[in-house]
Amino acid sequence: MTRQAPHSLPEWENLIKYALAVWTVGADDANPLVSLSAVRERMKSRNLHAAINQLLEDALLLLAERSPKYAQLLRLRFRDKELVRVVANKLSLAESSIYRMQRDALQALTEIVMEMESSARRGMIGSFESRLEPPTYFDLVGVDAHLTKLAEVLSADGPPWILAIEGMGGIGKTALADALIRRLIHQTNQYGFAWTTARQDSGIGAGLQGATAFQLSTNDIILSLVNQLWGDTTGRPSSPSEALHALEYKLKTIPHIVVIDNLETISDVETLLPALRRLARPSKFLLTSRQSLFAETDVYHYPLPPLSQKDSIALVRQEAQNENLTEIFQLPDTELAQIFEVVGGNPLALLLVVGQCHFRPLPAVLADLLEARGYRTERLYAHIYRKIWENLDDLSRDVLMAMQLTPPKGEDQDFIVGVTGLGAEDVMDRIDKLMVLNLVDCTRDKHLYRYSIHSLTRSFLHTQAMQWLNESLP
């Protein structure tokens, strides 16, 4: 059963008393102190008992700076297990004074640990958030009910241990998972968090499920998680077998919520799922996948539906406002509903349509798409991308094609300039245009701007765009 950190001062005092009581005895994996961020940050290179002992030592050192006798008394009573009369003799105090001093010392130590926990909690939140990719969205539309439900399921004690957000490409699975984890990071301290992505490119022409140019394996995923959770600490396991054993101990000792994004691009899912079952309990896994896992009976399936017409209109209006497309933002719902009628409630498709309105009137964009109405998702995307491609100048096409070489998390301006061979000004002019068209995303990581493309855009470039370029050659 997972435990929350204490809230009131009496709860904290009881927790510190427990920690002192097991100081020299040892702590089992059910120890209530495992919920403390201050303990977890000391477990990177230690087991649970050693981490708790280190926390006590660190707190007592701080206490010794403020009140040396308090620290000495607690060490004698709880580490050395000395009787009250022995401690009284060593400190030249009456036995009755020892009881009063011990009570005051415990309160002082508790306040120090609370300060340490507050600082550790802030650092832990920052550490968890650094494991996520910078978000490519501003405000998500139509996800409140999904966030509430998934947060309830993930934060509850007990099963399900493996959850899967499933849905078509571009439906917003990754964005939903990201928003969910960011919410939970701030709402609960009973879990640690980790995120790894298997995002690669697949062929639109193969129905968005086609073979990938390169696929990650279960071992790749395990090693990625170990690198994330251990960082550069000494003793980090390196081989897959060592990594799996070490990861199992950590995830069994400290409950985590682990996200594996883009499950469909992992080469050996049939091997990964048994490994996740071994690593789960009390930790949980959240998967995102274009492919359904209904054959897996112990997976909690969460199919992500398209946006409703109301939410689709709200998304279009929000994007138009963000992009200063006043004429689109001011259109009545009846006219914006035409976009929904043509492309449905797929967020990426809606954003691509809005992006085209910077250069073409909405009626013209919709007229081109009318022939795609009723297409399966992959054909609809291919149609939308082709219409955008046909209206790009040659330099914009070159820059967009070069974006295939960027990793999923994106690259900076210098990288794109280097791979295109174009001048920085030309590259950034085209990047700005491609961002307006929602073909390129920009995320800011401190002072570094990274430019990336959606996995479906990557798929389009890998298959359709390359084919059209070859067809245009003399």
Closest by Cα among 324, 87, 287, 279 to 197: 287
Domain end position, chosen among 251, 284, 303: 303
Q: Where are the alpha helices (DSSP H) in 159-265?
A: 173-187, 218-230, 240-253
User: Mean of the pLDDT values across residues 454-469?
Assistant: 75
Query: Cβ-count burial of 211 within 10 angstroms (0-12 exposed, 13-18 middle, 19+ buried)?
Result: exposed
Domain presence at residue 266: yes
Domain presence at residue 74: yes
pLDDT for the residue numbered 212? 42
pLDDT tens digits for range 64-99:
999 999 999 999 998 888 899 999 999 889 988 999
Residue bearing the bigger pLDDT, 387 or 469: 387
436 and 330 share one domain: yes
Most confident of 167-171, 243-247, 294-298, 463-467: 243-247
CB 192 within 8 A of CB 40: yes
Query: Cβ-count burial of 139 within 10 angstroms (0-12 exposed, 13-18 middle, 19+ buried)?
Result: exposed
- Cα-based distances in Å from 68 to 63, 81, 94, 184, 367: 7, 18, 18, 40, 81
pLDDT for the residue numbered 7? 67
pLDDT for the residue numbered 6? 64
Round to whole Å and give the CA distance between 428 and 348: 23
Domain presence at residue 22: yes
Round to whole Å and give the CA distance between 89 and 66: 23
112 and 225 share one domain: no
423 and 318 share one domain: yes
pLDDT for the residue numbered 205? 36
pLDDT for the residue numbered 17? 87
Domain end position, chosen among 280, 303, 326: 303
User: Mean of the pLDDT values across residues 424-429?
Assistant: 93
Query: Cβ-count burial of 423 within 10 angstroms (0-12 exposed, 13-18 middle, 19+ buried)?
Result: exposed
pLDDT bucket at 157, cuts 50 / 70 / 90: confident
What residues are paired with 257 via a beta bridge?
A: 193, 284
334 and 452 share one domain: yes
Round to whole Å and give the CA distance between 220 and 223: 5
97 and 184 share one domain: no
Domain presence at residue 31: yes
Range of the domain at 101: 9-128
Q: Torsions phi, psi of 188, nearest 5?
A: -135, 145
Round to whole Å and give the CA distance between 266 and 268: 6
pLDDT bucket at 469, cuts 50 / 70 / 90: low
Residue 405 sits at the vertex; the CA angle it makes with 225 and 259, to the nearest 5 degrees, is 25
pLDDT tens digits for range 171-222:
999 999 999 999 999 988 889 999 998 765 433 333 333 334 456 889 999 9
Q: What is the CATH number of the domain that holds 239?
A: 3.40.50.300
pLDDT bucket at 264, cuts 50 / 70 / 90: confident
Give me the percent of the chain exceeding a pLDDT of 90: 53
Reduce the DSSP state of residue 430 to 3 states and report it.
helix
Domain presence at residue 137: no
Closest by Cα among 240, 241, 201 to 408: 201
Q: What is the mean pLDDT of the chain?
A: 86
Q: Torsions phi, psi of 450, nearest 5?
A: -115, 140
328 and 270 share one domain: no
pLDDT for the residue numbered 418? 92
Domain presence at residue 1: no
pLDDT for the residue numbered 171? 92
| Block residue for tokens 């399936």 | 301
Q: What's CA 85's distance to the chain center, in Å?
A: 55
Round to whole Å and give the CA distance between 350 and 319: 9
pLDDT tens digits for range 42-66:
877 677 888 888 999 999 999 999 9
pLDDT bucket at 8, cuts 50 / 70 / 90: confident
181 and 256 share one domain: yes
Residue 230 pLDDT exceeds 50: yes
Round to whole Å and give the CA distance between 122 and 118: 6
pTM, two decimals, is 0.81
pLDDT tens digits for range 325-373:
999 999 999 999 999 998 889 999 999 999 999 989 999 999 888 876 6
**Which of 21-30, 321-330, 446-455 has the weakest average pLDDT?**
21-30
Residue 237 pLDDT exceeds 90: no
Closest by Cα among 397, 393, 346, 343 to 365: 343
pLDDT for the residue numbered 48? 80
Which positions ≥6 away from 133 have C-beta within 8 Å?
178, 195, 197, 408, 409, 443
Residue bearing the bigger pLDDT, 2 or 93: 93
- Kindly state the tokens that stand for 210: 């086609």
> What single DSSP character describes residue 35?
G
155 and 98 share one domain: no
Round to whole Å and give the CA distance between 465 and 205: 11
Residue 32 pLDDT exceeds 80: no
Give me the percent of the chain exceeding a pLDDT of 70: 90
Element at 16 (helix H, strand E): helix 9-21
Reduce the DSSP state of residue 401 to 3 states and report it.
helix
Residue 275 pLDDT exceeds 90: yes
365 and 415 share one domain: yes
297 and 328 share one domain: no
283 and 196 share one domain: yes
Reduce the DSSP state of residue 164 to 3 states and report it.
strand
Closest by Cα among 270, 271, 215, 221 to 247: 221
234 and 361 share one domain: no
Domain count within the chain: 3
Q: Torsions phi, psi of 5, nearest 5?
A: -65, 155
- Cα-based distances in Å from 469 to 214, 386, 453: 23, 12, 19
pLDDT for the residue numbered 121? 93
Domain end position, chosen among 93, 128, 163: 128
Residue 123 pLDDT exceeds 50: yes
Domain presence at residue 133: no
Domain presence at residue 134: no
Q: What's CA 135's distance to the chain center, in Å?
A: 9
